[in-house]
Amino acid sequence: MMAYQGIKYVLLLHLTNMMVFNQVDETDCSGNFILQQPNVTVSSFGFNSIKVSWEAEEIVEKGHLNVCYNFSFGFSDKPLKKLQWIKMTNENDHKIKLHMHPQVVGSVSNGLCDSNLRIKFQSKPAKFIYTAPPVYITNVSCILFRITSLNCSWDFRTNAPQDTNYSFALRLNLKWVFCTHYLKRHKKNVGCYMEDVFWEYSDGGYPDKITIGFFSDSNNFSKTFQPEAVEILTPPRNIQVLSKNGDIIIQWYPPLSIAITRSEDEMTSTYDYGKERTFKYEIHVVENKSKHIFRTKMCFQNGF
Comparison of pLDDT for 259 and 188, the residue scoring more: 188
Range of 40-49, 85-94, 126-135, 293-302 with top mean pLDDT? 126-135
Average pLDDT, the chain: 71
Q: Percent of the chain, pLDDT > 90? A: 15
Could you give the CA distance from residue 201 to residue 205 in angstroms, rounded to a whole number? 5
Return the pLDDT at 218: 78
Residues of the chain with CATH 2.60.40.10: 137-230
Mean pLDDT of 204-233: 82
**pLDDT score at 179:** 95
Percent above pLDDT 70 for the chain? 59
17 pLDDT band, cuts 50/70/90, is very low
CB of 101 closer than 8 Å to CB of 75: yes
* pLDDT over threshold 80, residue 120: yes
Does the pLDDT value for residue 124 go beyond 70? yes
Domain 137-230 has CATH 3.40.50.150: no
For 119-145, what is the mean pLDDT?
Answer: 86
pLDDT band per the 50, 70, 90 thresholds, residue 111 = confident
In degrees rounded to 5, what are phi and psi of residue 272?
55, 40
pLDDT in tens, 80-102: 665 555 555 443 444 455 555 67
pLDDT, tens digit (0-9, with 9 covering 90-100), for 178-193: 999 999 999 999 999 9
Least confident of 102-116, 155-169, 225-239, 290-304: 290-304
Q: Phi first, then psi: give them for residue 221, nearest 5 degrees.
A: -155, 165
Alpha-carbon span 269 to 254, nearest angstrom? 11
Mean of the pLDDT values across residues 63-75? Answer: 78
pLDDT by residue (tens digit) across 29-53? 444 567 777 888 877 766 677 778 8
Position 58 pLDDT exceeds 50: yes
What is the structure's pLDDT at 187? 92
